[in-house]
Structure 1
Amino acid sequence: MATLIDRRLDGKNKSAVNRQRFIRRFKNQIKKAVTEAMNGRSITDIDNGEKVNIPARDLSEPVFGHGPGGKREAIHPGNKEFVAGDRAARPQGGGGSGGGGGQASNSGEGEDDFVFDLSREEFLELFFEDLELPNLVRTQLAKLTEFKSVRAGFSSAGNPANIDVVRSLKGAMARRMALAAPYTRRLREAEEQLQRLLAEPPVDDSRARELIEDIEHLRARARAVPFIDTFDLRYTNRVKQPQPTTQAVMFCVMDVSGSMDRARKDLAKRFFTLLYLFLKRNYEKIEVVFIRHHTVAKEVDEQEFFYSRETGGTVVSSALHLMGETMAARYPTSSWNIYVAQASDGDNWHHDSPACRDILLKQIVPFVRYYAYIEITPDRHQSLWEAYEEVKEQHPHFAMRQIDGPADIYPVFRDLFKRRVS
C-alpha cells in the first residue's frame, strides 16, 4: 500500500476556504448584522471593515444522540441508592440537546453572541450585493471594449488544445482515399488478371510471377500512404466579436444654496459618497457627472463637489438646464444609460418650481432610465416636492424619498437602488 506524505508548508491564508464557507452558510445572519452596522457609521468610516455580532442561537446545528431508552446493564461505582434488580425512573425532558441559546438561565449558564470580523472587501460585497442600477440595458456599439469569443469554422494552424479530432480524421481519410486510389485500382486489375491466368491452363509461369510481383508492389505503395499527416490536422477557429456595452452615466446634482445648512449638506454628501462608492465598485463602464447649484449651476470635479464652500440663493432650474444640455451634447440616449440623483432641501424660488417641472417632463425624464430625488428636511415638504409629484404621476421611474437624519440614509439608499425582479 502506498503512503503519501504532504510536506507542503502551511500557507498564511489556509483558513480562507473555511472563512468563505462560513460566510455562505450564515449569510442571512451576517447581512442582517451588516445592515444594522451601517446605520451607525459616519462618512469617514464608510469604506472600512466591520465587526458583526451573530446571536449564538443562530449558529446552533442539529445533532444526533442516543436517548436513555432501551435495556442496558451498567455498574456504577459508589452507588448507595440502587441494588441489582431495581428499576430506575426515566429522566425528565428530551434525551438530546442542541446548541445553547443566548438567554439568561437560573443556573447561571449561557453563551455570548458570536463576534465575526469582516474585511473591507467582504463588508462592501455583502452590503452592495442585492443593489443595482434600475432598468440598465445594453446600448449600441459605442466604445468597443467588450468582445465575445465565437466559433468561426476551422483552421490548419492553432493551439493543440483546440484540435478537432473528428474533423482531422475526416480529412485524413479523404487524403488517404485520394492518394491510394491509383494503386488500389491497378491492384484490383492485377488481381483480376492473375485469377484469369490461373483459371486457363496451361499457366504462363513467367507472367504469373510478374503479376504477383506487381500485386505486392502495389499493396506496399498503398500501405505507404500515412494514416494521418500534419496537413490533415484541423483546429477550432475562434474570433473575438464586439459586443454591445452597458455604458452608463450618473448625474449627481446637489443643492448648495444658503437654505442648505451644514447639517443638511453633510447628509447630502453622505448619500452621494455612498452612491459614488457603489457605482465605482459594481460597474466598470460608468461615468459620474457632478453638478452643484445655487442660483447658478456648474459642473465640477469630485473634489470641488464634496468640499467646496460656495453658496448662494436657490434656482433649481439652473441645474436642470445644465444637465439637459450636457445630456444632449455628450450622452446620446442611443448609446448611454442615463441616471440622475438629486439632493435638495426643497426650498426653491416659488416661481422656479413650475419651470423645473416642465424641464423634467420635456427634456430629462423621458430620456433617463431612473431619476431619484432626495429631499433633506425634517419639516413639511416645500414647493419643489409638490412640483415633482406631478412628474412622478406620469413617469413610474421617477422616485422621491425624504431624509430626516443620518439614520435614514442607508435605508433610503437601499430602497432606491434595490434589485428589481424582472
Structure 2
Amino acid sequence: MANFIDRRLNAKNKSTVNRRRFLRRYNQQIKRAVSDAINNRSVTDLESGESVSIPKRDVSEPVFHQGRGGERDMVHPGNDQFKPGDQMKRPPAGQGGGSGEGQASPDGEGEDEFVFQISKDEYLDILFDDLELPNLKKNQLAKVTEYKTVRAGYKADGNPSSIDIVRSLKNSLARRTAMAGKYKSRLRKAKEQLEALLENPIEHEADIKILEAEIETLESKIKKVPFIDEFDLRYKNYEQQPIPTSKAVMFCLMDVSGSMDQATKDMAKRFYILLYLFLTRTYKNVEVVYIRHHTQAKEVDEQEFFYSQETGGTIVSSAIKLMNEIIQDRYSPSEWNIYAAQASDGDNWADDSPLCSELMRKNIIPLVRYYAYIEITTRNHQSLWREYEQLTAEYENFAIQHIKEVADIYPVFRELFKKQVK
C-alpha cells in the first residue's frame, strides 16, 4: 500500500477545519489515548500538549488495488535490475515485501501507529470532557461582569461639573504664550528703546512717537488674546472598567505527618494540579492556599507544602480550623467561590475525627462550593473515613474517594466531577 506524506506548510491555518473534523471523527480513540497518557506523565506537564498515537487499523481508509492475476508490463522509475520484457515470479501468498496488519516485515520494518500532536487546549478539552463543577448554577450570579469607574485622562467636552481647572489653566497659559509671546517680546524691546530715547526727547521726538504708536498697537494685540477660551477647557474623562468577579480560591489541605511518605505526597500533588487546571477553565482568577498539618496546621508555600519533612502524629481538626480562619479573614463567601481538596492516608486521633465532622458541618461545608476528600492508602479505612462517609449522605457538595495507586488518580478525579444527570 502506498503512503503519501504531505510536507506542505500549514500557512494561515488552512487545515484547521480538517483538523477539527479529524478530532471529532476519532474522538473515542483520542480519549483512550489521552487517558493512557495521563498515567505515564507528570501532571505538572499538562500545560503542554501531547503526542497521541492511534492504531493504524482505526484510521485506515478503503483503497482500490490491483487484483491477483494478469500481466503488468510497466517498469517503475529508479529500477536498476529489470528491463522491459523481463519476467519474474509472483511471490507466494504472505511473502510480500511489505507487512500486513499487525505483522512485521522480514527486514524488521513494519507499519507504525498513526502519531500526531495535539495542542494544550485540545489536550485539556479532551482531558476534562464530560466533567463539570458541582453546584455551578449557584455561582452564575457571582460570574456576572461588574464595572468600576476609573479616571481615563481628559477630553475636550463634557459636563461643567467635570471641568479640570488646573489642566484648563495650563492649556490657557500654553495658548497665550504661543499666541502673544512674539508680541510681548517686541513690546519689551520697544519699551527699552523708548526709555533710551526719552533721555533726550527733543532730538528723538519723531522716533518716540513711532515707538509709542507701536507699543500701543502691541498692547492692543496682547489684550485681544483671551485669558481663557473654549479651546483650553479640559474635562475629566471616566470610563467603565470591567472587574472579573468570577474568582475562586482553592484550599489544599494535606497531612504531612510521619506516615505520609513522598510517594503519597506526589500522588496528592497530581490530584491538586488536576483540580487547579479544571478550575482555571471556569474561573478567570484562581488563588491557591496551601495548608499542611500534623499535630498543628500551618499555611505554607507550594515548595514547603509538598517537600518539607515532618514527624509525629496527626490532628486533622487543626487544618480545618485554620481553613475557617483564613476564609473569614480573606475570602468572603459572598465574593469568592471556595473549593477545597483534602489529602490524607487516613491516620488521625480517634477522638479528633468526630470533631472534624462537627467542624465540617458548622464552619466549612456551608461556605464552600465543593469539598473533596481523597484518602491515599492501601490499608483499611479508619475513623476519619467513617466520619466523612456520613457527611456525604447529608451534603451534595461533599465527596470522598479512595486512591491506591497513581493509575487511580484520573479515574477518581472524573468520578468526583462527572456531569450530573439532569
1:39 to 1:395, Cα distance in 2 relative to 1, 3 A:
same
Answer yes or no: is the 8 Å Cα contact 1:128–1:278 preserved in 2: yes
Shift of 1:280: 3.4
Answer yes or no: is the 8 Å Cα contact 2:266–2:306 preserved in 1: no
Answer yes or no: is the 8 Å Cα contact 2:376–2:403 preserved in 1: yes
Secondary structure, aligned partner of 1:314: coil
Match of 2:291 in 1: 291
Match of 1:384 in 2: 384
- Larger mean CA deviation between 311-320 and 341-350 belongs to 311-320
Amino acid at match of 1:58: D
Q: Counterparts of 1:20-31 in structure 2 under 5 Å? A: 20-31=20-31
Secondary structure, aligned partner of 2:254: strand
Distance of 2:134 and 2:410 partners within structure 1: 17
1:282 to 1:396, Cα distance in 2 relative to 1, 3 A:
closer
Match of 1:261 in 2: 261
Shift of 1:304: 2.6
Match of 2:187 in 1: none
Amino acid at match of 1:250: M
Answer yes or no: is the 8 Å Cα contact 2:144–2:246 preserved in 1: no
- Larger mean CA deviation between 308-317 and 374-383 belongs to 308-317
Match of 1:306 in 2: 306
Answer yes or no: is the 8 Å Cα contact 1:138–1:246 preserved in 2: no
1:284 to 1:102, Cα distance in 2 relative to 1, 3 A:
farther
- Larger mean CA deviation between 394-403 and 329-338 belongs to 329-338
Distance of 1:246 and 1:44 partners within structure 2: 25
Answer yes or no: is the 8 Å Cα contact 2:255–2:344 preserved in 1: yes
1:128 to 1:282, Cα distance in 2 relative to 1, 3 A:
farther
Structure 1 alignment gaps of length 5 or more: 1-8, 66-74, 79-99, 148-238
Distance of 1:140 and 1:120 partners within structure 2: 27
1:24 to 1:303, Cα distance in 2 relative to 1, 3 A:
same
Distance of 1:45 and 1:248 partners within structure 2: 23
Deviations, residues 219-243 of structure 1 (Å, cap 9, x unaligned): xxxxxxxxxxxxxxxxxxxx97979
Deviations, residues 85-142 of structure 1 (Å, cap 9, x unaligned): xxxxxxxxxxxxxxx994569xxx9954322222344323321343332212465987
Is 1:133 equivalent to 2:116 in the alignment?
no
Match of 2:122 in 1: 122
Distance of 2:121 and 2:140 partners within structure 1: 33
Match of 1:340 in 2: 340
Answer yes or no: is the 8 Å Cα contact 2:315–2:352 preserved in 1: yes
Distance of 2:38 and 2:58 partners within structure 1: 21
Q: TM-score, normalising length from structure 2?
A: 0.60
Q: Counterparts of 1:16-415 in structure 2 under 5 Å? A: 16-43=16-43, 45-61=45-61, 102=101, 112-137=112-137, 139=139, 146=146, 245-415=245-415
Shift of 1:144: 8.0
1:346 to 1:77, Cα distance in 2 relative to 1, 3 A:
closer
Amino acid at match of 1:260: M
Secondary structure, aligned partner of 1:41: coil
Deviations, residues 274-308 of structure 1 (Å, cap 9, x unaligned): 22233335531322221111111112223332333
1:58 to 1:278, Cα distance in 2 relative to 1, 3 A:
same
Distance of 1:372 and 1:268 partners within structure 2: 12
Secondary structure, aligned partner of 2:338: strand
Shift of 1:338: 1.9
Deviations, residues 16-54 of structure 1 (Å, cap 9, x unaligned): 443333223322221221111112223554444322221
Amino acid at match of 2:302: E
Secondary structure, aligned partner of 2:341: strand
Structure 2 alignment gaps of length 5 or more: 1-8, 74-98, 148-238
RMSD between aligned residues: 3.8
Shift of 1:336: 2.6
Secondary structure, aligned partner of 2:358: helix
Secondary structure, aligned partner of 1:366: coil
1:134 to 1:243, Cα distance in 2 relative to 1, 3 A:
farther
1:142 to 1:267, Cα distance in 2 relative to 1, 3 A:
closer
Amino acid at match of 1:248: A
Shift of 1:62: 6.5
1:400 to 1:12, Cα distance in 2 relative to 1, 3 A:
same
Distance of 1:317 and 1:77 partners within structure 2: 84
Distance of 1:303 and 1:77 partners within structure 2: 71
Secondary structure, aligned partner of 1:367: coil
1:34 to 1:43, Cα distance in 2 relative to 1, 3 A:
closer
Amino acid at match of 2:305: F
Shift of 1:272: 1.5
Secondary structure, aligned partner of 1:392: helix
Answer yes or no: is the 8 Å Cα contact 2:268–2:343 preserved in 1: yes
Distance of 2:270 and 2:389 partners within structure 1: 25
Identity of aligned residues (%): 62
Shift of 1:363: 1.3
Distance of 2:311 and 2:13 partners within structure 1: 51
Amino acid at match of 1:360: M
Answer yes or no: is the 8 Å Cα contact 2:320–2:360 preserved in 1: yes
Match of 1:184 in 2: none
Amino acid at match of 1:321: K
1:11 to 1:398, Cα distance in 2 relative to 1, 3 A:
same
